[in-house]
Structure 1
């Protein structure tokens, strides 16, 4: 049995765009042609590939087809580059990557900008907590990911990046209002959490013997906005050093008594012999090691 690349490419386009109509516009065909291609491949494989929801989602079989299509597209790009062939006008390869919000908001975009200046590539970034980005590699949604997982995902390889150091900080006004009597006030002092999966503040409180579930909290689910919320005195929070060094130096923020938390990060990517993926890994790893705390 063979999987025609045109059909696999169509499935990947539908998953990437979310609807058959949007995929048709991307592929320059009619929605009817997209539907017929998907039906033909499903009949050939004897499996349902897509869940017709909004947006469209791949089944487990569909994820395998999407992964195949993206790997073939990447290898085709590399082969054409090696042959010295001129790409079609405006043709670029799309590389989906996963990254945690704090890396995205601080150091991760700089290496991508340098890569985009040297290669005909666009990046499709998926933002998620570093504890969950590896799942996007497992499903074939992305080709590479910044993750806290040190064990390689099946079919991937891993390189250490370093650690993001988070410091517990608040404004002087917040400390005067809520912690004037010392750390015991943390039990009632509001904190800022990124979202309901963010456990950094809870880890820090646990280490101090304070029940993290009893105090009020704000939820601010964006890295830069989260930092702004802490800097405005909305609550205390764990900020990456990148986002609080200047304010700690000039007194706009103060560090609460207690150890920082280091979150070790790794780069995982598909284990393909791809010059483009290698260039991405080299740039990301070098950039991370310049700014993150060394580990080991």
Structure 2
């Protein structure tokens, strides 16, 4: 006889993970913290696995991630069925169907340039509500693997287990600097000057500028004189302000190049980051609608 995963217990686990604590999950579920704790213990006994690390916030274990992914898939399918049937929320007698909720991981530069316009065609689609999680494109698959999101824009072509993957295109970055900065620091051979010139990086995981310098001068990295600006718009503003040189997405760089607030110091060079769309293999109309819109905009906006 197969062991079952009672849906009420699975939903409780998802609530604890999403809310971060047992108390917050209890409030969201209209239960007592003791009842939430008992449900989690019961689910762990059924699976024979520890599903949560009791930290603040709580985190799912590797086994817990499997159950969390199942819980999100279950919730997605229930939402799709409810919307298809036109059923109201929470047993109400009338009212619109419950909108779908799709957690999606997106890198900051995509979010600041082409991704939100991709969702414009879905503005009137009552099935779709998105919950965008900003994460570096090299790390968005971590959220997929943990079951925290259902889809992601990622730089990884290797599909996460249970996911499909499709290439979107490449995001193109231009090496730019403020005119006064370029005159002071880059008046000469950039291959020799870049390793010493101040540089702007997104955060401490941002390796784009280092890789660019390494391609120009093997074995070298961007300067240790660097500024960290963890915002796509703020990054472009910091480069424009003359804090350092940086690789700025074409969509953000071109208006500043036209206004002469930025200059390209290597006009024949660009950096490209390939992007892919990964999503759960789930027959969900709402997820299909988002994927179709994203792929269409990527075809227009990316190389």
Residue 146 of structure 1 pairs with residue 148 of structure 2:
no
Provide the residue aligned with 1:234 in structure 2. Answer: 243
| Distance apart, 1:102 and its partner CA | 0.6
Residue 231 of structure 1, CA deviation:
1.0
Q: Identify unmatched segments of 5+ residues in structure 2.
A: none
The DSSP-based 3-state class of the residue aligned with 1:117 is coil
Deviation at 1:32, TM superposition (A): 2.0
Q: Point out where structure 1 has 5 or more consecutive residues left out of the alignment.
A: none
Q: Which residue number corresponds to residue 280 of structure 1?
A: 290
Aligned-partner Cα distance in 2 for 1:8–1:231: 50
Alignment counterpart, residue 30 of structure 1, candidates 29, 32, 36: 32
Give yes or no for contact 2:158–2:165 (8 Å, CA) kept in 1: yes
1:12 aligned counterpart, secondary structure: helix
The within-5 A match list for 1:212-231 is 212=221, 214-231=223-240
Alignment of 1:74-89 (within 5 A): 74-88=76-90
Q: What TM-score do the two structures reach when normalised by structure 1?
A: 0.93
RMSD of equivalent CA atoms: 1.8
Can you list the C-alpha shifts for 1:223-256, whole angstroms capped at 9, x where unaligned?
Answer: 1111111111110000000111111122111012
Structure 2 residue aligned with 1:198: 206
- Indicate the residue corresponding to 1:57 in structure 2: 59
Q: How does 1:127-146 map to 2 (within 5 A)?
A: 127-146=134-153
Does structure 1 residue 208 correspond to structure 2 residue 216?
yes
Hey, which bits of structure 1, 4+ residues long, moved more than 6 A? none
Work out whether residues 116 and 122 of structure 1, in 8 Å CA contact, stay in contact via their aligned partners in 2. no
Q: Is contact 1:111–1:287 with CA below 8 Å preserved after alignment?
A: yes
| Cα drift, residue 87 of structure 1 | 4.0
What secondary structure sits across from 1:8 in the alignment?
A: helix
Compute the TM-score of the two structures, normalised by the length of structure 2.
Answer: 0.91
2:100 maps to 1:100: no
> Does 2:81 align with 1:72?
no
Alignment of 1:156-167 (within 5 A): 156-167=163-174
Mapped to 2, the partners of 1:35 and 1:115 lie a distance apart of: 39
Q: Distance in 1 between matches of 2:117 and 2:298?
A: 10
Distance 1:116 1:25 in 2: 31
Secondary structure of the equivalent of 1:118?
coil
